[in-house]
Each structure stands twice: as structure tokens, then as C-alpha cells.
Structure 1
Amino acid sequence: MKHLVVALALFAAPAVADSPCCATGDLGLVVERATGSVLLIDRSERSALARIEGLGDLSHASLTYSPDERFAYVFGRDGGLTKVDLLERLVVGRTIQAGNSIGGAISDDGELVAVSNYSPGGVKVFDAETLELVADIPAAGKTIGLADLPGRRFIWAVWDTGHAYLGDFSGEGPVITDLGHIGTNPFDAVVTDDAHTYLIGLFGEKGVTAIDLWDKEPKPVRFLKDYGKKEEDMPVYKMPHLQGWAFTEGQFVLPAVGQHELLWVDRETLEEKGRTAMHGQPVFIIAQPASPYVWVNFATPRNGVVQVVDSRTHEVVKTLEPGKAVLHMEFAPRGAEVWVSVRDDNKVLVYDTRSFEKKGEIEAQAPSGIFFTARAHQPGL
């Protein structure tokens, strides 16, 4: 029996030796927007592990992860698509694929990375392993709201034409479907957490558009068409980010563009259920996992505050003042903590979501987006 144990140990040893140096489930990246770098962070230790540089213009950057959580794909404002290895802690691929890009997505099988572009407009799709171009889908204007859908598909909209498009990449070549006119100047869009609905915010007219992605023939449906027609809009200092729209308690929680309000809409009927007066113009509205609460940050000049709202009562239950220019929030996957980037104070703060006590602080260079690797397993992110 002793010889058998030794033999099994020897057989298993190479597998252990060839394994990656560390697990990725606790890792994340913080975008350092002013320096073209990302900060690799350890969520459990509330610490920074490494700074990875050479990612270009990150003044409006986002990223997504490969299914195994090892690689991040960073979409920069300069049209750069950068592949980062979290284990090796370095850039392993980079291409300038456009003049100005606004975001991207990865297919559900992890094999394709798509980028939406302002200049020139359109969507480009790349092989996730090599970053070689797979498809170039032109558009008559700026593409916005690019998101992944099940079945190796992507969806996006075009600011200039007001149309939405569905791209199916499951066959030998891409099949692009025009889903119709969705409204004037769609400025951003998001796929709901169950990949059921595509929500598009409109800047050129009042209202929001929903597309039922489970329908065999998806069609745009307008709602909130009468909201704000009697009120005078304030100047919009920063457009809301729809990937921060919250879905909770059977509701969509939406930012009132040009107003200091949240709008609550029934997910099934698309009817307004209430409004919440807020500290400022909402930018991100993010649902705290495993709770009835949503957290909200705001546009300049009132961007030093975060408010917490109860989705059952629509009331503000907590107001925090983390520092100057709060740009983004990211929750631990089960909601125990929230990480908050404070750009002008050059730091990331960590709060306990039950007690609201500060649990940690990390120095960062003008931090903006915070992205944990748990996003690798969520549709639309």
C-alpha cells in the first residue's frame, strides 16, 4: 500500500507543478485613467498586487474577462484593445483597432471579443486568443451599448441612425439583423441580468426602449415616453452609464437624465412605479447582491457622495461622502463589501455593506472603473 501511495503522489506531482501560481477568483483590476495603467487587486486581502502599464488612453475605459478569469480585455478611448494576463501580470497583446472606441464584450464561449467604435463607427470582432480580426461590421455612425448574448451573439445600437442590431456569430459567417428604429440618439444600453431584455436610453427624445430578446422576432417597445415633459431639464454634466442600471425587486431602476431622480419601472409591465429624489444627477445605479438595496453615485459637481436606496420603499437609507469625484462602485460577488473609486483623492475605499464602516483603503492613480473577475460569469458584462 505504501508503494501505491508513493506512485499516486508521483503521478499527481506534475499536474500541481504545471498549475498557475495562484487562483484568480479574488482578483480584479482598477483602471487608472490618467496614466494608461491598471492596478491588479486582491479582494480578500484588500490590497494592490501590481501595476500593469502601457494600455494607452484609459480616460473612458472598460474591460471584460475570459471565462477562466485569467485574461482581461481592456477597451481604451484611443481605439486600443489590450489583452492582460492576470497571472503573469503583464500585457500579452495589443492592437489599435480604431480611432475612438467606447467599450466591448466577450462571447459566451470566450472565443470572440467585440469592440464598439465611435470613429469610425461600427463593430469589430477579434479572436480572443490571438487578437486577429474576425469580422468588421460597419455602421452609419457611433456604435453604443455593445453587449454579449447567449449563443455567440452580440447586440448594439447606433447613435446617429437610432437603430439596434443583433449579430449572430455562431455559424461560418456573421448574420446581422436590423432590429428596427429604437428612438433618437440612443446614448447607451444594457442587457438585463437574465439576458431577457435589452434596455436603451434615449438622449434625443424622452423615453426608454426595451427589446425582448427571448422573443423569436424581437421588436423595440417604447416606455416612459411622457416622463419629464413638464419639467425643465438641467444641464447634463455626465451621461449615465447604463451598465450600472439596477434590476431588483421586480423593477428596473433608471437614472432620470437631466434630473436629480431615480425612476422605478415594473419589469413586466414597463409602467412607472415611483420616483426617488436624489442628491444629484445619477451616473451609476448598482444593485447590491443578495439585498434590496441599490447604490448610486453622481455627476459633477455633486460627485463626492454615494447614496443607498431601499428598492422596497424607494427611500434613501444612507448617504456616504467617500471623497472627491466618486467614479465607480463594484460589489464583492455576494455583496458583503463595496469598493469605491475616488479619482481626485487617488484612492479606492472598501466599505462593509451592512455597517457602512470603512474596511480598507488602497492608493491608486486617478482610479475610475473597478472590475472583479466574477464578471466573467455574468451575461452582459
Structure 2
Amino acid sequence: MKRGLLPLLWVSAVVGAADPALEHAANDYRQHCQSCHGANRFGGTGPALLPESLSRIKPDEIRSVIQNGRPASQMAGFANVFNPAQIDALVSYLQQPPTTAPTWSNDEIRGSHSMFADINKLPNTPQHGADPLNLFVVVEAGDHHINILDGDRFEVLARFTSHFAVHGGPKFSPDGRFVYVASRDGWVSLYDLHNLKLIAEVRAGLNTRNLAVSKDGRWVLVGNYLPGNLVVLDARDLSLVKTIPAIGQDGTASRVSAVYTAPPRDSFIVALKDVKEVWELSSAGTPDFEPRRIEAEDMLDDFSFSPDYKQLLATSRKAKGGQVIDLDSGKVVTDIPLPGMPHLGSGTYWKRNGQWVFATPNISKGLISVIDFKTWKLIKEIPTLGPGFFMRSHVNSRYAWTDVFFGPDNDAIHLIDKQTLEIARTLRPMPGKTAAHVEFTRDGRHLLLSIWATDGALIVYDSDTLEEIKRIPMNKPSGKYNVGNKIEFVEGTSH
């Protein structure tokens, strides 16, 4: 074989030899990008560059990163290497799927595993002086970092680099000592909040949806889009225990939509994106992690639990809103006819006149739907300034806070009175910049709100008076997660 022929064969295999511009882009990738992002675009020292990994990033942002680089990372700018046409072609190339479907084997999972510290040799009490149950784990998406924030003094105790695009929300060990973080491109990190040290990392997949930690703290379950499977890890060191292909009863392969733990049930609950099934995997005793299959009426995108964890509220396009599944009987109880696309996984519940109600934002319509938990009937639709993404509250707060993330008024935050179901206040913390995602301190006296911008901030409010207490500059802070609220699965927070 001639020496110059191999790159051309590689290019043809990847892009199908169809578009000359894409062929040239593939050659540019091989020369300038492959050493960091891998020959198959699975990632290396740089993140994976597959369509699944880049799905939430706009082409203009990809173009900007190629041209200008990314601050506080090893990604240099290539404006002096590529002309604008080459950059445009690279953007198109990175959004094309490889001809050969990517795979990630057990051997590759094990080969990616790294240990950075031995938890048995570290102190088992907090070494930082802050309340360990009132810490916040803050995802700073703009430059891919994690901040550990003292929830009493509102000061950053530690900051460390995360993998590309942390996704699905960090989860905690039952005692709150450890936090587990998953990135969009499959990396799972274990961090010790007592000692402010990174303990271990492993790449559990190529495109990860989210992870959950078992009630007893022994297992971490990771749900993947690519490859479509579940990965069981030992929570102590992230070593591989088992992989479970996401294959339906009829043999259909699927992606995993969502994975959560159901503490009263000692189990994990899993939704499949391409198969009409919900899985329950016991985590009690010596589990075999064989799924109990519950038939659903439609593929499920996300879900939330009833307060007693006996029923599942799942987003379902076919049901034109959602469906309620009883986990004990394994039967669909009812459909919930809701307009648009309710984001049930980000909904929240509280007691109103002594009865539980559930409220959900909607990612395609400007409204909040409030549902009676007992009858599953719609109580009220609350008009908002635009479609929203996140909704949060606290048992000690009179308000439910909801954003209008997808609307032109995305700099606004609505405060809904939980008893009257009316919008009591609308705040615009930083006009012109997206405001989203609230998390309360453990006692509910204060809350943190994100301004999703490169020159953004965390804004600390008194939850009663709504007085602004502090503004902490950050680079596109997205989610923030209070240790105590999460491990106690309190009313008003995400699970």
C-alpha cells in the first residue's frame, strides 16, 4: 500500500467519500485534532466530538471554539491555521455520525479507570470547617469546572476541572461525604467532599444520560445513550461491576432516558427511550441487577416520583402529556392530558390545603401545570412569560421558583405562591441574561440562582424577604446541588 493512501482510506471510511469539503475537513481533523480527540472522535485528552456529545451545542459555538479556543483548557484557537471555509466544514464534519457505529467495551471501561487517592487513608471527618450537609456542588459550565461552596458563608472552598459538559446532576453518597459526577461524554468522577480531593474516574460510556447512587451507597448506576446500556460501578472506587444492555423484551435496542434511585424501594428505576418499558433493578442485599420489566404505553423521556415513591409520573408524547405508572402493580394508572411538552423530571410537589399537588414546567409552552396527586386531575394552568425548564422550592418556602428558559424573556424568574397558585413576583436579576435553576440551602432560609452567561453569577437571595445577599461571579454556572437536600430527598428539590 502506498504511504499516502492510508489517510484517504480513513477519510473515506468516516465520511463516506461523498462530499469533498467533508473529506478535506476529515483530513484537517486527522492532522490537527486527532491527537487530543482520538482517531474515532471518542475523545482523549479532549472531549468526544460525536453528534451525540455535541447535540446541545449550537454550531456557532462549535465554530467559535475551533476559531478562538476555550479559556482555562488545553483547547487552543485555530484561527491562524484554518480559514473560515475550513472551520465551517469542520463544524459540519463533527456533526456527522461515523460510518461505523461507536462501541465501548468492558475492557475499555476498565482501561479508562484511574485512582488518585485511597479513601481508606484519608480522614473520615470534614477537614474544611464548613457544615458538610450545607455544602453546594456548583457546575460551572462555561469553562468546565466544579465548585464546592460553603452554604453558610457562600464562599468557594475548592474548584476543580470537570470533564466536558457535566450532565444529569451530581449525586451523593447517603452520608453526604462523596459526590459522583457524570459528563456528557461518559466520564464519571468520584470526589471526596470531606477532604476536597478527587478520588477516582472512569469512562462508563461515550454519551451518558445520568447516574444514580443506591440507597445503601454501595452502587452507582450509569445510564447511557451510547452505547445504549446501564453500567454498574462499585461506589467505593468506580470499578466496573456489570454492564446491562438496554434491550427490550422484543429484542429492540434502546438508549437510556433516565436513571434515578427510589430509596423506600431499595431500587433503581430506569426509563428507556426507544422501548415501551420501565425497569426496576433491586439494589438490596446481594443484587443481580436483573431488571423487572414494567410495560408502558409509550417510550418515556423522563420522570418524577410521587412523594411515597409508589407511582411514577413520566413524560410521554403519545399520551399528549404524561402517564402515571404504579410501581407496585406494574400497571399504567392513567394518562395526564397536558399540552405541549411538560418537563416532569424537573417538576416539584408540595402540600396545598393539606393535599399533595405536583407542578411541572413546560419546555414548549409558556405555562405551569398543577396536578392533584390523588385524582391526577389538572387543578390549574398558570401562564408564564415563556417555556420553562427548571422549577424548585423548599418546604420552608412559600414560593415555587420557575424560569422561562426557552422564551425571549429568559432573564425573568417567576415566584409562584404555593397556596394561591398565582405568580406573586417576577424578578429579573440580570436583565438580558438567562436566569435559571434555583437551589435552596438546607434550612431553606437562602437560595442560589444561576445567571447562565459567560460573565454570569450565582446570586444568593433571602428566601423570605427576597433581598439579594451576595453575587458570586462565575462563567455560566448551571446546576447547583445542596448536599443535605439531596441525600434527604427533600420536598422541592430534584431527585
**Is the shorter-chain TM-score for this pair beyond 0.5, marking a shared fold?**
yes
In structure 1, which of residues 41, 65, 72 is the aligned counterpart of residue 149 of structure 2? 41
Which residue of the partner structure matches residue 4 of structure 1? none
2: CA distance, partners of 1:255 / 1:160 = 24
1:243 and 1:361 mapped to 2: Cα distance? 25
- 1:218 is aligned to 330
From 368, 388, 413, the equivalent of 1:306 is 413
Q: What is the distance in 2 between the residues matched to 1:173 and 1:329?
A: 37
In 2, are the aligned partners of 1:31 and 1:58 still within 8 Å (CA)? no
Match of 1:240 in 2: 343
Amino acid at match of 1:40: I
Indicate how the Cα distance of structure 1 residues 265 and 295 shifts in structure 2: closer, same or farther if over 3 A, else same: same
Q: CA contact under 8 A between 2:272 and 2:278: conserved in structure 1?
A: yes
Counterpart among 370, 375, 381 of residue 480 in structure 2? 370
The TM-score with structure 2 as length reference comes to 0.67
Structure with bigger gyration radius: 2
Matches of 1:246 and 1:325 in 2, distance apart?
25
In the alignment, which residue of structure 2 is the partner of 1:265? Answer: 371
Change (3 A) 1:128 1:305: same
Q: Residue type of the partner of 1:337?
A: H
1:61 and 1:369 in contact (8 A); partners too: no
Give the corresponding residue for 2:260.
147
Deviates more, 1:197-206 or 1:354-363: 197-206
1:294 equivalent in structure 2: 400
Higher strand share: 1
C-alpha distance in structure 2 between counterparts of 1:57 and 1:204, whole Å: 33
Q: Deviation of residue 192 (structure 1)?
A: 3.2
CA shift, 1:244, in A, is 4.0
Q: Which residue of 1 aligns with 2:237?
A: 130
1:285–1:295 contact (8 Å) kept in structure 2: yes
Cα displacement (A) at 1:47: 1.4
Match of 1:197 in 2: 311
| Bigger relative contact order, structure 1 or 2 (CA pairs below 8 A, ≥6 apart) | 1
Query: 2: CA distance between counterparts of 1:274 and 1:117?
Result: 36
The corresponding residue for 1:158 is 272
SS at match of 1:335: coil
Distance in 2 (alpha carbons) for counterparts of 1:178 and 1:247: 30
Q: How many percent identity over aligned positions? A: 26
Instruction: Write the letter of the residue equivalent to 2:296.
Output: H
Q: 1:35 to 1:103 in 2, by over 3 A?
A: same
CA positional deviation for 1:133:
1.6
| CA distances 1:40-90 after superposition (whole Å, capped 9, x unpaired) | 10010011112111x211253510111221110001101111101123323
Whether 1:167 and 2:281 are equivalent positions in the alignment is yes
5+ unaligned residues in a row in structure 2: which ranges?
1-122, 247-252
Q: Distance in 2 between the 1:138 and 1:147 partners?
A: 17
Greater mean deviation of Cα atoms: 129-138 or 96-105: 129-138
Q: Does residue 352 in structure 1 map to residue 452 in structure 2?
A: no
Tell me if structure 1 keeps the 8 A contact 2:166–2:182. no
> Partner of 2:188 in structure 1?
81
Output one character per residue of 1:128-160: Cα deviation in whole Å (capped at 9) or x when no partner.
Answer: 002112221211222123110134310011111
- 2:300 counterpart (169, 178, 186): 186
Q: Which secondary structure does the structure 1 equivalent of 2:487 belong to?
A: helix
Query: 2:363·2:389 contact (CA, 8 Å) conserved in 1?
Result: no
Q: CA separation in 2, counterparts of 1:181 and 1:321?
A: 41
Structure 1: state its 5+ residue gaps: 1-16
Deviation per CA, 1:222-242, whole angstroms, max 9, x where unpaired?
3223x43xxxx5xx8xx8361
Question: What SS class does the counterpart of residue 133 from structure 2 fall into?
Answer: coil
TM-score (norm 1): 0.86
Return closer, same or farther for 1:61/1:33 CA change in 2, 3 Å cut-off.
farther
1:240 partner amino acid: H
Deviation at 1:378, TM superposition (A): 1.6
State the AA in 1 paired with 2:357. Answer: Q
How large is the Cα RMSD of the aligned pairs?
Answer: 2.1
Could you tell me how far apart the structure 1 residues matched to 2:239 and 2:266 are? 17
CA contact (8 A) 1:241 1:284 kept: no
1:342 aligns with 451
Q: CA deviation at 1:251?
A: 0.7
Distance in 1, matches of 2:348 and 2:229, equals: 24
Query: Any conservation in 2 of the 1:102–1:117 contact (CA below 8 Å)?
Result: yes
Amino acid at match of 1:332: T
Equivalent residue, structure 2, for 1:30? 138
Aligned to 1:176: 291
Tell me if structure 1 keeps the 8 A contact 2:313–2:344: no
User: In structure 2, do the counterparts of structure 1 residues 58 and 241 end up closer, same or farther at CA, with 3 Å as the change threshold?
Assistant: farther
Q: Deviations over 1:204-250 (max 9, x none)?
A: 5502112233x3x232223223x43xxxx5xx8xx836144334422
Q: Where is the helix percentage greater, Structure 1 or Structure 2?
A: 2
